[in-house]
Structure 1
Amino acid sequence: MRLVLLVLFIGSSSFFGNVNGQNTNPDSLFDVAKKHYDLANYDQAIKIFDESGQVFLQQGDSVNWVHANLSKGDALLNSGNVRQALDLFLFLDEQTPSAVSNSILARIQYFIGWSYRELEQYEESKKYYLEGIEFANAANDSLLTGRMNNNISYPYLYTGDYYTALSFQKKAMDIYESLGNKRSLSNVMNGTFLVLTELGLHRQAQNYIRQSLALREEIGNPHMLDIAYHNMAVNFKELGRTDSAIIYYQRSLELSRQLQNPFDITQTLINIGRLYHDSGDLDNALSYFNEALEVNYQTERPVSIANNLTELALVARQKDDYDNAENFYREALNWLGETNSPQTRSAIYLDLAELELSRNNFSDTRNYIDQAKKLSDSKEFLYLTARSHALLGKLHQAKGDFSESLNEYRKVYSMYADQNYTAQIEPAMNLARAHYLSDSDSAFYYADEAFALIDSGRTTVAGLTFRSGFYREHAGFYNEVASWYITQKNDAEKAFELVEAAKARVLMDELAEAQENVYTALDESTLIKKQQKAKQIDRVYQQMEQAQSEEEVQALKRELTDLEFEYQSFLNEIHSANKQLKNFTYPQPIELAQIQRLLNSETAILEYTFTENGVIQLVITQNNIRGTYIHSFEGMDAKAFITEEVRSFRTSIIEGEEITEIQEKGTALYETLISSVLSSNNNSLSNIVIVPDGPLSFLPFEALFNGTTYLVEDHLIKYLPSASIYPYIQSPHRITTKGLLALAGSGFESEQSVTSPNLSQASFASLPSTLLEVDSIATNFESSTILKNEEVTEASLKSHDLSNFQFLHFATHANVDEVNPSRSGLLLSKKADVESLFGEDGHLNSREISNLQLNADLVTLSACNTGMGPLVTGEGLIGLQRSFISAGASSVMVSLWSVFDRSTSKFMSIFYRSLLTHREDEYGLWNQTMDWFGFYEHPMIDYKTKAIRDAKISLINHPYYNHPVHWAPFILIGK
């Protein structure tokens, strides 16, 4: 009867195909299939195991038929076809021939247990594994007993029973070591790593995953390597080694994409999304989270889907979309249903508690915390228990019960005492805040402890995206504590130290690296590979511009996210492998005395920094520093008030409102930002260096009005990203052989691109007056190179040795990408056919600009909005000026809004004429000689600052161009 059932199943099931040859040797087929399996060629293995099984059955060998089908199911499992595999195993369990051994019976239970584990049905999984252990023991099959003990540890691990999991793994480890089975040893070491990681023992876990990886590299199975790379990345991330985490996640992702196993790739996608999320790049984070969810829905795994949904909820919360966030959490709980998943359920309750706390629903917040704490305490989930106490601290703080809040934060701090430095940062910050609210000086002690922890991890990752993200998460705390020093200790010097510690640190690091030529000294093959990866990204952007459908655009976006991550991974590989970079001593923020030595009696640095709601103003003069902290204006948070005032002022100028209205708004801002500074210095200041922050990065201070004159009429004004940047910006007057290189790209058309209007060159209008602009500028120089119209291409620009020019002037369109600042750049040419011959695309993006070698005193970007860009907390404005300074320019002139090309042409003509005059006055033969011997100190307010003021005053007095829309947008940044 059993044989009849087998035949009927084979005849009606889609499990089996037709046998290719009646006389095929089934043992040979099985061996071939096994070789494919070992190489992770699962599709081929499945097909050939199937053929082998059919031949065995035709020969009446039911035992080997079962064996072949178990191997086929194993391959199905590893390829991600879990449901199909489970159906096969359950069929074999029901229809097993009586002649099979206990070993075969054990293997059937083993595979059913594994299948249920993959589907996150852990109680079913345990049941079949336990039955399998009995069969394996009866068979005296040591290897199979070891596998059973190892695999049953996973459902115990995932249901929070860590010590039972470890006991099973210990049994498996003893068996595998006695047998010397490397493959199985690598598996149990991987499992032990996972348990220790869940227990927060990351340093102890590291040894196990390293040994597992070493064995798997020796074995060479891609599927096993994929898992090992992923878990190495997890371990590095937990230990604060983000650079290595990025590298190993990239390796895992590459293999996961090749293997196409939906059960393996989802967690890698989610974890990469978390890296982007933590760096503040929510768009790339969403891209990975959404892709993971699409794949997760195919697997029908309730816990994995629930975890995935919570990541999407977190992004929604950060966008203040609380309703959507709550929907994601509710869907996650629905997926969990009655599953035994206390860890995930507890985490969701805590997420909901945070959501309700942001809504000021204190009662619901407490209920969710209590539910979570009950689960986490019973299972010893260290992280979740600590998080429960942290949320209780936050809840008590919101209710004004600072004493109870302090007690909770003390508990959290103690819990994390033995964890890695990244885990200790937030508890230290929270404890400092709790002490501050309790009027305790211990606030400053714990704040210093947090700063030390943050600084120790600042340079463990390469690349702007992730390094700036690390600081973005903590920069606000530096500013917050700086405000404490001003309000509680009247210590402006310490406030300056903290503000500078959190401002433009990544740019300062990049400039310090450039001074030591650490990247240019890399071997040629590495530099070429780096360039090729960047070009791949540019190529996909080009394809997106030309895409004909939304489906094509989405497919290219997905390819782009992988290429961007691959590029970041490569940067971190360079960073890890290069001894000079690995051991590089990164600079510390400038000390107050250092910056004061650079000032004369007529010059002040005016530095602004925003806290969550307020603003810090630091006024630094040659012999003094004064700090003020303003929490509110006219009953409104200072930050919100200034943001609105700046927006209104800019809008009035850009929309061409009456000058009297603009001056009225300019006077209000003058009173808020400038008046007290000048009056406290007896109006003796002639020169002001602005270090802006937040919305003030978009404010032209020159246009502020004191009731009689614009600020620029009485003061020389320039800008810096931070005071600490100044020593690392290249000095002017370096040796160059040519005066000016000017480009006028006028030949753009006005049609709009249907699929990608923000990026397409077709969307930019013609600029006829730029031709007159560069011709007029060139008349001031003895030596100049002018590129116009058809001569302007990316390839032609790069054919010149740009390091030979003292001045670079770009009168062409700029593209500012608020989402992906590395894609911002200058649009030089729309001749794609010509550009492609030289491997270019006509778009000189910020990544390419940073890699230029410049000795220019000044780069002028006279196009529209070249001073704009996204604001990154702690790093400031990420704009084109940053890229040119990184490339070696001493200073950059940019515009803060769309400019009129005719008035701009007039402005630039006056500017350059004045520039050369002031240069001769400032840097005559005597100063050149002193500079040659290293005795010359370049003035902070130099000839370029004087020239831009001359041009602005000239237009203020011009009969047609006196409106601020014409002269106010241009600002000078740098040395």
Structure 2
Amino acid sequence: QTALDYFNQSLPVFRQVGDIRGEATTLTSIGLVYSDLGDQQIALDYYNQSLPVFRQVGDIRGEAATLTSIGLVYSDLGDKQTALDYYNQSLPVFRQVGDIRGEAATLNNIGAVYSDLGDKQTALDYYNQSLPVFRQVGDIRVEATTLNNIGAVYSDLGDKQTALDYFNQSLPLFRQVGDKALEATTLNNLAWTKRSQGNLPEALTDMEAAIALIEDLRTKIDSEKLRQSYFAQNQNAYEFYIDLLMELHQQNPDQGYDKQAFNASERARARTLLEILAEANADIRSGIDPELGEKELNLQQRINATESRRMELLSGEHTPEQANALKQELDTLLRQLDELRAEIRRTSPRYAALTQPQPLTVQQVQQQVLDQDTLLLQYSLGEDRSFLWAVTPDSVEVYELPSRAEIEELGEQFYRLMQNPDYRGESRNITVSPNIPQINASATQLSQLLLSPVADKLAGKRLLVVADGVLNFIPFAALPTPEQGDELTPLLVNQEIINLPSSSTLAILRQQDAGRTIAPQTVALIADPVFELDDRRVTGQTAVKTSDLGRIVVNRSAETIIGRPIPALPGTRQEAEAILALVPGGGAMSAFDFDASRATVTNTDLTQYQMVHFATHGFVSSSNPELSGVVLSLVDEQGNGVDGFLRLHDIFNLQLNAQVVVLSACQTGLGDSIRGEGLVGLTRGFMYAGTPRLVVSLWSVDDNATAVLMSKFYGKLLSQGVTPAEALREAQLEMLASEDWKSPYFWAAFTLQGEWR
């Protein structure tokens, strides 16, 4: 992070004085930092900026170094052949200019590619060519890297003792030069090798030292995005650590290693979310330089404007060059926003005084999170085997599950089948899909895999699900109760189900909510926005009524935003009016039609409302989660286009006092799936803004069905005094019991994230 700060200071100076070679060198250096922090795509962007400049000024050594760096990116991304192509371009250039260090580094990298491709002997040949050169020029760091690489080859070849010898040579060298990241890598390699020899206690010692280094380095990164990418690239270390602890548990079942493994699992997930929620509680923006706040607002406006231009461009005729230019401009602005927010953190007096929140231990989870009616199901997926912890206030049990690949295959199949538009039932005048037996078989298979180990613990319990990987996409409510014979009863029938990104998240949400004054007003409703110029409301006609549509099916996904008209959602008006009818006089704010706008949301004091309800289209950007959001009115009363996209970075700036936020739109529970973080999307934005619980969706939901579900949900919530979790379950049960809406397609997409109390 400090390196990045200095490079970002020097870059505009080189540009100011016209030193394009210095500029290119700095661009490559910035790329190296991003590569080290795990953001390979941004690294590649910087290298691709510097490479033509080196060629322009005739700096063939700089060109060769950048070619090697690009090769490293492709190698890390898994494209070994492209990596080899770049190395083979740079190697003769290093030889041409007599740069023996650059030549040796490239030989080392070529060896790594051959090792990854399984040709261990060729890899060894390349490493043995580069090692004496690094010793000759006194480059201790890269000498240590090569020793480590040679050790890895011998380990793969089965010669574990020789591998240990090489690792033990490299470790003190990394410590000598202070490279903590590669020290952690070597400790990890030592742990793997010692475990394979059956020396589990020493392997555990090495692994705990490696994890401590990773965690220490992670806290030195101020950028939220880079902290996530760095953590993601180190998830294999946590996965191995958990697996090692579980092997020790199997050998010594009374030593508490299963609980340590749970603690490791909790340390490995949603850490950035935990930290930003702590920042929200500390109000770290208080007292920052107003100029930084102004810069942030300006950047957000430029991002929104640029993304709008990009979508407009893509909806018409355009060249690939035009689209790419706008994408690069947008990526640059998003990167600048991330860097600016890192600066805001660094310079905030309250952030400096903020203690980094620590994940809870299993004992703390039992004491602070759970109650006697709640069973925590926490999943951790691994390459060779996965684990499920079943935790109550009084007990901790752990079960071994199949590999990540097997669970992913079943999970992806089930998720795909659940959102199949054909799976809707005869009452919708749509032919019942012939895939229903396949859907039921998939659901049963997944349930047996994920839930059968704890079948005897489910009765009478609320289920708190902390998922991992593909399981974040699974509607557990629609899975059949395990081991029940031929009759498939959805888990929903007997269980209230809550989802969380981590157990520790709930504890900090409760801290955020503690002592908060209940908002005086009941609900703020934003529904039925105007999306298109040909909408009847623009031309002065009356709004479309749900009854006008008959059996036409419309969903609330904005996937069609680019290049196609955005359909109106008359069901959202029906939904909001049904909710309004339940609210005592004066207790609601409603914004329909043109008023269902971004301006209304950002200019209304939402802290006055106990509930905030968005009924509109949702959209998800998995490549840039910051651009995900909900679509509000895109047209004003005069027919002028307006910015109606409420994006994630806008949501972070909202101030809420809501007990629940309902995102009655498509895919609002999704986001970018980042290892170690889970789904990075709208949920964390609203939690940061001040709500402890959200109702969100996992796929593209049907407009009419969602209107019915939400009417039932608020009916329970407002008239029966139940919790949002109870209200959602009861509403879904009524849908399940009806002929029109019994298919899980209509009701199972919605889940409750956060606090159940």
TM-score by length of 2: 0.87
Q: In structure 2, the residue corresponding to 1:606 is in which secondary structure?
A: strand
- How far off its partner does 1:836 sit? 10
The unaligned stretches of length 5 or more in structure 2 are: 424-432, 535-557
The answer to whether 1:586 aligns with 2:368 is no
Q: Tell me the amino acid that sits aligned with residue 668 of structure 1.
A: Q
CA contact (8 A) 1:604 1:685 kept: no
- Judging changes above 3 Å, is the alpha-carbon distance between structure 1 residues 703 and 750 closer, same or farther for their aligned structure 2 residues? farther
Q: 1:946 to 1:759 in 2, by over 3 A?
A: same
Letter in structure 1 aligned against 2:81: D
Q: Is the CA contact (8 Å cut-off) linking 1:835 and 1:842 kept in structure 2?
A: no
Alpha-carbon distance, 1:717 to partner: 0.3
SS in 2 for 1:897: coil
Q: Which residue of 379, 396, 406 corresponds with 1:641?
A: 406
Of residues 735, 739, 742, the one that matches 2:522 is: 739
**Does structure 1 residue 914 correspond to structure 2 residue 680?**
no
Asked if the contact 2:651/2:689 (under 8 Å) is kept, the reply is yes
Q: Which protein shows a greater Rg? A: 1
- Which deviations, in whole Å up to 9, do the C-alpha atoms of 1:430-488 show, x marking residues without a partner? 22222222222111112221222222232222232112122222233123211211122
Match status 1:868 vs 2:670: yes
1:384-463 to 2 correspondences below 5 Å:
384-420=142-178, 421-440=180-199, 441-463=201-223
1:758 deviates by 7.1
Q: Which residue of 2 aligns with 1:768?
A: 570
- 2:416 corresponds to 1:651: yes
Other structure's SS at 1:735 match: coil
Contact 2:28 2:66 in 1 (8 A): yes
Change in 2 beyond 3 A, CA 1:314/1:798: same
Assess, with a 3 A threshold, how the Cα gap between structure 1 residues 685 and 400 changes in structure 2: closer, same or farther. farther
Secondary structure of 1:645 counterpart: helix
Are 2:463 and 2:497, in contact at CA under 8 Å, matched by a contact in 1?
yes
Which residue does 1:678 correspond to in 2?
Answer: 455
Question: For residues 643-695 of structure 1, what are the alpha-carbon distances to aligned partners after superposition, in whole Å with 9 as ceiling and x for unaligned?
Answer: 1101111122222244443222111111100111122x3x4442110001111
Q: 1:301 aligned to 2:105?
A: no
- Which residue is 1:668 aligned to? 445
Q: Given the alignment of the two structures, is residue 573 of structure 1 paired with residue 353 of structure 2, yes or no?
A: no
Taking a change above 3 Å as real, the CA distance of residues 474 and 248 of structure 1, as seen in their structure-2 partners, is same
Name the residue aligned to 2:549: none
In the TM superposition, what is the alpha-carbon distance from 1:714 to its structure 2 partner? Answer: 1.0
Instruction: Say whether residues 1:467 and 2:227 are aligned partners.
Output: yes
1:517 to 280, 283, 291: 283
Judged with a 3 Å threshold, the aligned counterparts in structure 2 of structure 1 residues 623 and 249 are, in CA distance, closer, same or farther, namely: same
Residues 748 and 762, structure 1, Cα contact 8 Å, conserved in 2: no
Residue in structure 1 matched with residue 744 of structure 2 by the alignment: 964
When residues 423 and 650 of structure 1 are mapped into structure 2, their CA distance, relative to the original with a 3 A threshold, is closer
The CA deviation string for residues 74-129 of structure 1, in whole angstroms up to 9 with x for no partner, is xxxxxxxxxxxxxxxxxxxxxxxxxxxxxxxxxxxxxxxxxxxxxxxxxxxxxxxx
Deviations 1:888-920 (A, max 9, x none): 1111111111111011111111111112245x2
CA 1:559/1:431 → structure 2, altered by over 3 Å: closer, same or farther?
A: same
3-state SS of the aligned residue for 1:393?
helix
Q: Distance in 2 between matches of 1:835 and 1:312?
A: 49
Aligned pairs for 1:372-387 (under 5 A) are: 372-387=130-145
What runs of 5+ residues in structure 1 fail to find an aligned partner? 1-241, 633-637, 922-942
Correspondence list, 1:219-258, <5 A: 242=1, 244-258=2-16
Partner of 1:951, secondary structure, is helix
Q: Which amino acid aligns with 1:573?
A: E
**Compared with structure 1, are the counterparts of its residues 549 and 386 closer, same or farther at alpha carbon in structure 2 (3 Å cutoff)?**
same
Q: Deviations over 1:326-376 (max 9, x none)?
A: 211111223334221112111111111111111111121111111111321
Distance 1:888 1:835, change over 3 A: farther
* 2:276 and 2:688 in contact (8 A); partners too: yes
Residues in 1 aligned to 2:210 and 2:460: alpha-carbon distance in whole angstroms? 38
Q: Corresponding residue for 2:537?
A: none
Distance in 1 separating the partners of 2:703 and 2:40: 36
**1:335–1:572: structure 2 CA closer, same or farther, 3 Å change rule?**
same
Q: Distance in 2 between matches of 1:417 and 1:300?
A: 38
Whose helix proportion is higher, 1 or 2? 1
Identify the residue that residue 77 of structure 1 maps to in structure 2: none
2:613 is matched with which residue? 809
Could you say which residue in structure 1 is the equivalent of 2:94? 336
* Partner SS, residue 329 of structure 2: helix
- For these two proteins, the number of residue pairs brought into alignment is 697
Shift of 1:549: 4.3
Could you tell me which of 283, 301, 320 is aligned with 1:535?
Answer: 301
SS of the aligned residue for 1:786 comes to strand
Q: Are 2:288 and 2:347, in contact at CA under 8 Å, matched by a contact in 1?
A: no
Deviations 1:680-728 (A, max 9, x none): x3x4442110001111011111111134311111111010110111111
For the structure 1 residues 788 and 459, does the alpha-carbon distance in structure 2 shift closer, same or farther, using more than 3 Å as the test?
same
For the structure 1 residues 828 and 810, does the alpha-carbon distance in structure 2 shift closer, same or farther, using more than 3 Å as the test? same
Aligned partners of 1:858, 1:385: CA distance in 2, in Å? 56
Please state how far the C-alpha of 1:613 moved relative to its aligned partner: 4.0
2:591 aligned to which of 776, 787, 802: 787
Q: Following TM superposition, by how much is the alpha carbon of 1:415 offset from its aligned partner in structure 2, in angstroms?
A: 1.0
Q: Which residue of 2 aligns with 1:557?
A: 327
Letter in 2 for 1:426: T
- Decide whether the 8 Å contact of 1:511 with 1:728 is kept in 2: yes
Q: Which residue of 2 aligns with 1:695?
A: 470
Partner of 1:120: none
Which deviations, in whole Å up to 9, do the C-alpha atoms of 1:386-418 show, x marking residues without a partner? 111111111122122222222211111111123
Alignment RMSD (CA, Å): 2.4
Change (3 A) 1:802 1:423: same
Q: Mapping of 1:261-280 within 5 angstroms?
A: 261-280=19-38
**Cα drift, residue 428 of structure 1:** 2.3
Amino acid at match of 2:308: Q
On the 8 A contact 2:141/2:177 being kept in 1, the answer is no
- Give the structure-1-normalised TM-score: 0.68
Name the SS for the 1:503 alignment partner: coil
Higher RCO, 1 vs 2 (CA within 8 Å, ≥6 residues apart): 2
| Aligned residue type for 2:324 | Q
- Residue 245 to residue 654, structure 1, CA distance change in 2 (3 Å): same
Counterparts of 1:434 and 1:258 in 2: how far apart (Å)? Answer: 52
Identify the residue that residue 390 of structure 2 maps to in structure 1: 619
In structure 2, C-alpha distance between the alignment counterparts of 1:387 and 1:280, rounded to whole Å: 18
Which residue does 1:824 correspond to in 2? 628
Equivalent in the alignment of 2:427: none
1:321 to 2:79 alignment = yes
Cα-to-partner distance string for 1:836-857 (whole Å, 9 max, x where unaligned): 99xx832111111112111111
Q: Distance in 2 between matches of 1:305 and 1:720?
A: 48
Q: CA deviation at 1:831?
A: 2.9
